[in-house]
Amino acid sequence: MTNPLLSHWDTPFEIAPFDTISDEDFAPALDEALAAHKAQIEAIAGNPDAPTFANVIEALETPCRPLEQVLSVFYAVAGADSNPKREELQRAFSPKLAAHFSAITANKALYARVKAVWDQRDDLDLTEEQQRVLMLTHRGFVRGGAALEGADDARMQEIKGRLATLGTEFTQNLLADERDWYMELSEEDLEGLPDFAVAAARSAGEEKGANGPVVTTSRSIITPFLKFSPRRDLREKAFQAWAARGANGGKTDNRAIATEILKLREERAKLLGYENFAAYKLETEMAKTPDAVRGLLMDVWGPAKARADEDAMVLTQMMQAEGINGDLEPWDWHYYSEKRRKIEHDLDEAELKPYLQLEKMIEASFACANRLFGLEFKPLDIPLYHTDCRAWEVTRKGEHVAVFIGDYFARGSKRSGAWCSAMRSQAKFPEQQTPIVINVCNFAKGDPALLSYDDARTLFHEFGHALHQMLSDVTYESISGTSVARDFVELPSQLYEHWLEVPEVLSEFATHAETGEAMPKEMLDKVLGAATYDMGFQTVEYVASALVDLAFHDGDAPADPMAKQAEVLAEIGMPQAITMRHATPHFAHVFSGDGYSSGYYSYMWSEVMDADAFAAFEEAGGAFDAERAKALEEHILSSGGSKDPAELYTAFRGRLPGVDALLKGRGLAAK
């Protein structure tokens, strides 16, 4: 019987036949796919013909369909619908895949052919896009250690394999802590919680098999609890569990793993001739150097900390007015900040949430994409990997563009956070290939499902990534969609968040779940007026995480990352009542893989651009200005990594941005 992961997918849009795939299919399919890819690589390396762009670079760009099919399905379910078998497979696959791809960059015969094409690049009459692909391919081999020899070469392969294993362990430990901890609540403990939070707690209790409502470490559940529960003791217990993820001792403790990862990254960078890992990592980003990153972060840190310190004084006074003496603690901030928000902006999240229905927010994200780029979305009835998932065909002027999959609800089998991934990326070589894109979120279930304002922004954010994938229009898959510099990839996603705040969007789609009435103008004004509320807190918790990440990699690897984290926070004067958004033991962005390592700053680097980019719309004909939308698609969304990101942004805006628009957008500019 043919393994469904390896067969031709005769399905609508050649989407994976999830209903015919079992966990037992993955391991044999991967082995066969890796063998096929290895043979493909060996054929390129051993080709007796003189090296050319076609028989080396384009040959490497030719996808190994079996491998793409296996990995696209496996990583979709491993992150969003895990189980013990899939976790076991992931632990086995990580070193195997690391060894496979390391062997490609370590293949001396293959590198010699890549280098031969690179050396004759000026005589090849390549298109601009082909020149870019050649440069990236050659650079990737060099940075992967292709030029290393002997013991250094062998050690590089060992490091890559070990890092892959450690990253998987870090992720699974975090998932285990998030899955296993919950706090049971009595009916009395629900006092003060709005209906949506009570419903979420009851739903979580049912999922956990508890006898009643529970609080879990899912952000969509724990954050409302911290905001609304008057029980300071329970808030403290919940917050401490949230903060302790990955640092609870025992087999799921991530601290030793983080230490080893940082040491191996430093060794890897030095093998390649770099001073440290940050210098290695940032070479390919827009920022280029650690000093440039630190400069941006510190430019923002000063105004943000000043605002947070002012806010902390107000919240402390509110707490002490209730008879609670002592210092404001991290488990107090959300509670008193929500009270303050209600007073100053007369904005009650419990009253706001019924206007932010998940279904209507999905409609809103689609409608904005239609007005800006002419995209249309038609529901698809196809088997997917979980019953929570939904799919749409994306078209423009009747032509198929992409398939979009939304997986919106929190569950124990899904890792925390939100992300966008492509099960298939856009390409024209060796044949036309349209994208299949997934947005994964962790919203609380409900009937109907209601979002917080932050949830709604997350939905728009991830859909911005999806648009980057769906509107991609390049020849080669390696530079398609979000295959761009890490500090550029967040530009489309963060930019798209701005359309949620456009008054005409909220007035049309923010309708009450029970009455169907549009959000009253008074409430709409309050929502928009409160858009930068608590921005000191939000900026401080983020920038602190980014500065710690940079410090971990800009210099010698710390022998004790927790001590280094404490040192950095003390140096910058971290407010007592605010913690890092992601403390080291659960900093998955940095330790589950190399993606955001030494690069967590990139959200803010991109925000500098997104604030400036949206200002371009406002300076033109408004949020839906057709000319600006066309320029955004042409120069950024459709271009992928086909050009240097600074060049792409300048083509869109006419110049590079400064930090002023960001500070103004966050409400942190000097008054």
Q: Are 376 and 396 in contact (CB under 8 A)?
A: yes
Query: What is the C-alpha to C-alpha distance for residues 575 and 307, in angstroms, rounded to an integer?
Result: 11
Q: Which two tokens stand for residue 13?
A: 């849009």
Q: The domain 252-347+535-600: what is its CATH number?
A: 1.10.1370.10
- The DSSP bridge pattern shows strands 399-409 and 436-443 to be parallel
> Region 421-427: what's the mean pLDDT?
98
> Region 228-253: what's the mean pLDDT?
97
* Residue 251 burial by Cβ neighbours in a 10 Å radius (0-12, 13-18, 19+): exposed
> Region 119-127: what's the mean pLDDT?
97
DSSP state of 670: -
Q: Where do we find the tokens 């943000």?
A: 304
> CB-side exposure of 616: number of CA atoms within 13 Å?
22
**Helix ranges (DSSP H) in 471-502:** 486-497
The whole-number pLDDT of residue 52 equals 98
Give residue-wise pLDDT tens across range 21-31. 999 999 999 99
> Region 154-183: what's the mean pLDDT?
95
DSSP state of 187: T
Burial 52-72 (b: 16+ CB within 10 A, else e): bbebbbbbbbebbebbbbbbb
For the chain, first and last CA: distance in Å?
71
The whole-number pLDDT of residue 660 equals 84
Specify the amino acid at residue 178.
E
SS3 call for 396: strand
Integer CA distances (angstroms), 433 to 90, 312, 412, 566, in order: 28, 53, 34, 48
CATH class in words for 12-147: mainly alpha
Question: Catalytic residue among 338, 462, 490, 541, which?
Answer: 462
Integer CA distances (angstroms), 41 to 101, 480, 483, in order: 10, 21, 22
φ, ψ (nearest 5 deg) of residue 651: -65, -35
Give residue-wise pLDDT tens across range 547-582. 999 999 999 999 999 999 999 999 999 999 999 999
The whole-number pLDDT of residue 269 equals 98
> Region 15-41: what's the mean pLDDT?
97
Query: What is the C-alpha to C-alpha distance for residues 593 and 168, in angstroms, rounded to an integer?
Result: 8
Q: Where in the chain is the domain with CATH 1.20.1050.40?
A: 12-147
Q: Which two tokens stand for residue 172?
A: 């699974």
Is residue 462 among the annotated active site residues?
Answer: yes
The whole-number pLDDT of residue 665 equals 86
Q: What is the residue-averaged pLDDT of the chain? A: 96
The correct answer on CATH 1.10.357.10 for the domain covering 354-529+603-665 is no
Specify the amino acid at residue 217.
T
Query: What is the C-alpha to C-alpha distance for residues 631 and 439, in angstroms, rounded to an integer?
Result: 25
The whole-number pLDDT of residue 416 equals 85
Q: Where in the chain is the domain with CATH 1.10.1370.40?
A: 354-529+603-665
Q: Which two tokens stand for residue 536?
A: 């000191």
Three-state SS annotation for 556-581: CCCCCHHHHHHHHHHHHCCCCCCCCC
Q: Which residues touch 136 (CB under 8 Å, ≥6 apart)?
A: 478, 479, 641
Q: Which two tokens stand for residue 164?
A: 């892959």
DSSP letter for each residue of 498-514: GGGG-HHHHHHH-B-TT
> Region 490-496: what's the mean pLDDT?
96
Residue 146 clears pLDDT 70, i.e. is over it: yes
E strand segments, 525-626: none
Question: Percent of the chain scored above 70 by pLDDT?
Answer: 100
Residue 631 clears pLDDT 90, i.e. is over it: yes
DSSP state of 371: H
The whole-number pLDDT of residue 671 equals 59
Comparing 416-430, 516-530, 550-564, 570-584, the range with the smallest average pLDDT is 516-530
Query: What is the C-alpha to C-alpha distance for residues 94 and 541, in angstroms, rounded to an integer?
Result: 31
Residue 421 clears pLDDT 80, i.e. is over it: yes
CB atoms within 10 A of CB 263: 15
E strand segments, 200-299: 214-216
Q: Where in the chain is the domain with CATH 1.10.1370.10?
A: 252-347+535-600
Query: What is the C-alpha to C-alpha distance for residues 557 and 596, in angstroms, rounded to an integer?
Result: 17
- In this prediction, residue 425 has a pLDDT band, given cuts at 50, 70 and 90, of very high
Q: Are 657 and 608 in contact (CB under 8 A)?
A: yes
> Which pTM value belongs to this model?
0.89
| Greatest alpha-carbon span in the chain | 83
Specify the amino acid at residue 413.
S
